[in-house]
Each structure stands twice: as structure tokens, then as C-alpha cells.
A and B are shown apart, each in its own frame.
Chain A
Amino acid sequence: MAVTEITNESHFNELTTSLPPATPITISFHTPWAAPCTQMNAVFAYLSEQFRNVAFLSVDAEAHPEISETFDVSAVPFFVFIKHGKVVRELSGADPKELSTAIQELAGSSSTSTTNGTGVSAPSSQPPTKEAGAEEDLNERLQKLVSAAPVMLFMKGTPAAPQCGFSRQLVGILRENQVRFGFFDILKDDAVRQGLKAYSDWPTFPQLYVKGELQGGLDIVKETLADDPDFFKNLNTTA
């Protein structure tokens, strides 16, 4: 069974209700402009031929924000695994091996516990530690997050479904300038949301980081481009 591309929300509902309840379902959320998604789409398609007892559905996260919201998609590529109508697992990031393992588990009967995917959706659960240790861990985590991609956007919502006008505008500007960027939905993780404000001494979102350094918010990016329209182009050549 190959991959079924979802055309709209009712198509999605039809499919998921018409499948026999025992059929495991996996959903891939992708966007046309994020390079890792292209690679993972190919992996997804390949796995769909290998595991014929699993229903493989594909959703353009940007075109169908309602579906993305239903599944709390915070970054792409993103994979959801459903068994007996319940979401049993979610995977974030572009790791073919991890996806393959997850599908294998879904198709098989036993489930083993594995770690979450990499990519820019950082795992939010941490073992409890004493306060000082926890703060250090948070700072380390933030440092990794701001450098997760050469251009990192911390925004409200996702590029597919921005939850604030400034976040939406900043995504628009990055796309207009054809910038490849990673993103993190700060509405999904309050520790990062508050931690980043302190870490960068910056009270608002969205926040754009280039090579781990804070550039500022929407207004600064607009001004920077007004003064230097090639700002983003120059980044790519030096990356």
C-alpha cells in the first residue's frame, strides 16, 4: 500500500474512520519548502511499500493547519503513529533510522520504549534535579536549541499555523528571502519560553537567531533588511 496524500480535513476523517480499527496508521506531516521533509517523504514512501499492513497518510502541514493543530504538530517533519484510534507515539525530525524503527514497532505487536527524534523539537521531559542543576541543564538545552540550525526562529505557533501576527510576518520575510530555517513553537514549551527570555535578555517573541546569536524580533529584521537587502543572502555564502 503506497502513501495516501490527504486533500482536506473531511478526506482525512473519512479515511481514518473507514479503515479497519486494527490497522495501524502513520501520518507524516511535511512542508514543501523544508529540505529534510523531501528526504523523509522518500523514506516514508519506501517504508509504505515494506509495511503493507500499515496505512500511510501524508499531510502538507502548511496547507492543512487544522489537521496540524489537531495533532499538535510543532515542527516538521513530524510523524504520528496511531493504533486502535489512539496516538501511541509521535516522532519529530529527519532521522530515517528512527522512523523505520518506529514503523516496525507500529506494524509489529510489541512496543519498546525509545527516545524521541532529533530535529528542532526538543524533548521537554527532564528528570527532576535540584534547582541549580536544573537551571544549568536548561541553559545547556537553550544553547543547543538556539544553534540547532544556522537560522533558528522561536515563534508562536508554527510556520504552517502561526499564532501571532508578528510570527506570521517574520515567517513570511524568511520565506520571501528563501532562507532555510529551523523553528521552535514556544507555545508548546513554557520552560523554553520563559528560559529564553532570561537567557537572551529579550522579553518578546518571535526571536530570530543566526548562528546561535540573537538578531532580534520582527522590527529589527525589517530594519536590517531595509538597510541591507542582501543580509540573508550573505549568510548563506558564509555558512
Chain B
Amino acid sequence: MSSSTSTPYADRIKSVLEHEMEPVHLAIFNDSHKHAHHKPMAGNTNPETHFRLEIVSNYFEGKRLPMRHRAVYALFQKEMAEEGGIHAMQLKTLTPKEWEERKARE
């Protein structure tokens, strides 16, 4: 259907989050190379195992951190469960208001 991509997981993360959470800011970082030498990663060939995401969305309003993270994880259950799939996702989840406050502080 679409031309082959070298970053299927990153693409999927982006499209799912944009669809489900309509973020005002979304940054996706692939940190897999930082973990490639760790024991649990021995034998792995997937270059997209560890991600770091910054998501700013109203979706998170009224939710404490564990709930926010669970909501994101729930969207990628399949990708995280499959063999050779996504191994970890570090999440920064902010509401637009919190994001503005953080930026003001820096």
C-alpha cells in the first residue's frame, strides 16, 4: 500500500497518537542505541526498541501520571507485546497548560 519505511514503529506511534490524542506537541525520540548493549537486548535486530515520547495534549487533563501513562501504553499493547517489538517507552505527558508553565520556568 504505502512505500516501505525504515521506521515503521515510529510512524505507527505518530499516527496513533495524532489520531487518539490530537496533541498540540508531539516529539518522538528513538533511544534504542542507548540500550543496544544491555543484556536483555542480546540477539535483537529491531532498531526501534526504545522510545522517548513527549506528548502535550488536553487528553491528559484531570489525570494523574500513572493514568496518563497507562492510557498511552494501552494504545500500543500489540506493539509492546510482540516478539522483537517495542521494548520500552519513556513518557513525558503534559497538558497544554502544564507545558506552558514548564516553558515559562526555563
Which residues of A come within 8 Å of B, CB atoms? 156-157, 163-166, 187, 201-204, 214-220, 223-224
A224 to B77, CA, bound (A): 25
Chain B neighbourhood of A202, CB < 8 A = 66, 69-70, 73
Q: Is there an interface contact between A203 and B73, defined as CB atoms closer than 8 Å?
A: yes
* A223–B38 CB distance below 8 A: no
**Do residues A219 and B38 form an inter-chain contact, with CB atoms below 8 A?**
no
| Complex alpha-carbon distance, A197 and B34, angstroms | 24
Query: Contacts of B19 on A, CB cut-off 8 Å?
Result: none
A157 neighbours in B (Cβ, 8 Å): 39
- Asked whether B56 is an interface residue with its Cβ less than 8 Å from the other chain, the reply is no
Task: Give the distance to chain B from A151, nearest Cβ to Cβ, in Å.
Answer: 16
Q: Which of B5-13, B22-30, B85-93 is the contact stretch?
A: B85-93
Residues on the A chain within 8 Å of B73, using CB: 202-204
Q: Beyond A203-B73, A220-B65, is A164–B92 a contact (Cβ under 8 Å)?
A: no
State A201–B88 Cα separation when bound (angstroms). 15
State whether B35 touches A216 (Cβ < 8 A).
no
The residue that B40 contacts in the complex, of A164, A201, A219, with Cβ under 8 A, is: A164
| Interface hits, B29-79 → A, CB 8 Å | 34-35, 38-40, 65-66, 69-70, 73, 77
Contacts of B34 in A (CB 8 A): 165
The answer to whether A214 and B66 touch across the interface, beta carbons within 8 angstroms, is yes
- On whether A223 and B40 interact (CB within 8 A), knowing A165-B35, A203-B73, the answer reads no
CA distance A224 to B89 in the complex (A): 17
* Cβ-based interface call for B80 (8 A): yes
Given the known A-B contacts A214-B66, A216-B69, A220-B66, are A204 and B38 also in contact in the complex, defined by CB atoms under 8 Å? no
Contacts of A224 in B (CB 8 A): 65
Q: Which residue of A lies closest to B74 (CB)?
A: A201
Q: A164 and B38 in contact (CB under 8 A), knowing A202-B73, A216-B65, A220-B66? A: yes
Q: For B65, give its contact among A164, A203, A204, A223 (CB under 8 Å).
A: A223
Q: Which of A166, A187, A214, A216 contacts B88 (CB 8 A)?
A: A166
Known: A156-B40, A216-B66. A164 touches B90 (CB 8 A): no
Cβ of A218 and Cβ of B90 under 8 Å apart?
yes
Q: Which of A187, A201, A223 contacts B70 (CB 8 A)?
A: A201
Q: A156-B40, A203-B77 are in contact. Are A164 and B35 (CB under 8 A)?
A: yes
Provide the bound-state CA to CA distance between A187 and B39, in Å: 11
Chain B, Cβ-Cβ closest to A201 = B70
The distance in angstroms between the C-alpha atoms of A41 and B95, with both chains bound, is 50
A215 in contact with B66 (CB, 8 Å):
yes
- State in angstroms the CA–CA spacing of A224 and B64 once bound together: 10
A223 to B92, CA, bound (A): 8
Smallest CB gap from B52: residue in A: A219
Q: Are A204 and B88 in contact (CB under 8 A)?
A: yes
Report 5 cross-chain contacts, Cβ distance below 8 Å, ordered by A residue.
A164-B39, A202-B69, A203-B77, A204-B89, A223-B65
Q: How far does the Cβ of B9 sit from chain A's closest Cβ, in whole Å?
A: 15
